[in-house]
Amino acid sequence: MPVLVMKFGGTSVATLDRIRRAAKRVAVEVSKGYDVIVIVSAMSGKTNELVGWVNETSPFYDAREYDAVVSSGENVTAGLMALTLQEMEVPARSWQGWQVPLLTTSAHGAARIEDIPPANIMQKFGEGMRVAVVAGFQGISPEGRITTLGRGGSDTTAVAFAAAFEAERCDIYTDVDGVYTTDPRVCAKARKLDRIAFEEMLELASLGAKVLQTRSVELAMRYNVKLRVLSSFEEPSDEAGTLVCGEDQIMESNIVSGVAFSREEAKVTLVTIADQPGIAAAIFGTLAEAGVNVDMIVQNVSETDYQGHEGRVTDMTFSCPTDQLKRAEKALEAARDAGRLKFDQLWAETDVAKVSVVGIGMRSHAGVAAKMFETLAAENINIKVIATSEIKISVLIERKYLELAVQALHDAFELERA
């Protein structure tokens, strides 16, 4: 029988009533002739509670025990979902990561999937099981310890299972009814997209859109997994949700597909560093070792010497998430104290936000950057940093102008039109 993967997020299984609602959707797909693999998250709020208990018990915790605790929420949901399906006379069993087994690296709290042998689950399908309810977010290390994939890891689990079992489709059920041109809470004109290319979804996810975890989109693109995002609170239909697919499955796309944003950005500038080969590697190598995710980078080259410095000097500006700012400052200042880096000052701004326009249509259309900059200028919004790729343009602006910028860009690129 063909295999279908269905993933239910925390809000979709937050209560027993919602678990029953989700189970009914699963039963419908079973009645259509599918063997179904259901990936479940912990009930809404449960993982945060478990993380809180770990931090309260041991602020400097053992990462192996952290994974043992925080992965337990998914086990509860998987068992309850299997019991609910059994009450509906659907042959179902719950599976924890180690039982599949879902094999991962040993990086506790941020493990990566290495393999999902399908033999165990396929054997049970052959014996009459119709639904395998798998605890998302978790796996097993080479040492035999429970691992977790990082927050949002159940999306990655679902896509990985769809690839491993060559599923016909992977449906991600959440509390929104699809992927929108921007956050409807910020722009009332936001429109649900029927289809979006993998590359566009990957950019939107990495730039702040919370619909899908970035790693799950990367996996879907690599293995060409047909991915559908839809709401567990709406009546099912063939037109429901948003299909995330290859560019060749989209007849004709708009120049810009969406406006993404991130409020939690920090801008860091290192003042008067040496303008010489290897300096960028020294700076960003230091940040990488400290686990800081750097995004936008700008180097300002000075043609004149700064007083008191030998040779040319420059300033280096980059952005990073605000919750990683202290880590970045500590790492850079430690490198300076150890003599590995030289800079006069470190300036940090935390009142900035990132706004991006994304679209595969940018590849074949000129003038997107000019239109974006003109739109922001018309609203008297100053741009602090600019970064571009083949299908995106991102800017850092003052955070107080975020909503205005998103709405203005959404209007300028007429994203409310299909």
Q: Which domains does the chain have, with CATH numbers?
A: 3-175 (3.40.1160.10), 248-418 (3.30.2130.10)
**Residue-level length of the chain:** 418
Residue numbers in the known binding site for substrate are: 47, 74
> How far is Cα 321 from Cα 328, in angstroms, rounded to an integer?
10
Contact between 374 and 416 under an 8 Å Cβ cutoff? The reply is: no
Q: Give residue 311's pLDDT.
A: 59
Residue 19 token pair = 């678990």
Q: What is the pLDDT of residues 185-204, one digit of tens each?
A: 899 999 988 888 888 888 88
Residue 234 token pair = 């709406």
| Residue 333: other Cβ atoms inside 10 A | 13
Residue 144, SS3 per DSSP: coil
58's CB contacts (< 8 A; 6+ apart) are 65
pLDDT values of the chain reduced to their tens digit, one per residue, 418 residues: 899 999 999 999 999 999 999 999 999 999 999 999 999 999 999 999 999 999 999 888 999 999 999 999 999 999 999 999 999 999 999 999 999 999 999 999 999 999 999 999 999 999 999 999 999 999 999 999 999 998 888 999 999 999 999 999 999 998 888 888 898 889 999 998 888 888 888 888 876 666 788 889 999 999 999 999 998 888 776 678 899 988 877 766 678 999 999 988 999 999 988 888 888 999 999 999 998 999 899 887 654 455 555 557 888 999 999 999 999 999 999 999 988 888 989 999 999 999 999 998 888 788 899 999 999 999 999 999 998 888 899 999 999 999 999 999 999 999 988 6
**DSSP E strands: which ranges in 184-334?**
195-197, 227-231, 242-245, 258-274, 297-301, 313-321
Sheet strands side by side (includes 103-104): 113-115, 103-104, 138-140, 146-148
212's CB contacts (< 8 A; 6+ apart) are 155, 172, 179, 201, 205, 227, 229, 244
CA torsion 370-375-379-384 (nearest 10°) is -40
Residue 143, SS3 per DSSP: coil
Q: Give residue 314's pLDDT.
A: 86
Residue numbers in the known binding site are: 7-10, 47, 74, 174-175, 180, 185, 210-211
This prediction has a pTM of: 0.80
Q: What is the pLDDT of residues 289-303, one digit of tens each?
A: 998 999 899 887 654
Q: Give residue 185's pLDDT.
A: 86
Contact between 358 and 260 under an 8 Å Cβ cutoff? The reply is: yes
Contact between 216 and 198 under an 8 Å Cβ cutoff? The reply is: no
Q: Any bridge partners for residue 259, and if so which?
A: 357
Q: Give residue 177's pLDDT.
A: 85
Residue numbers in the known binding site for ATP are: 7-10, 174-175, 180, 185, 210-211
> How far is Cα 95 from Cα 72, in angstroms, rounded to an integer?
12
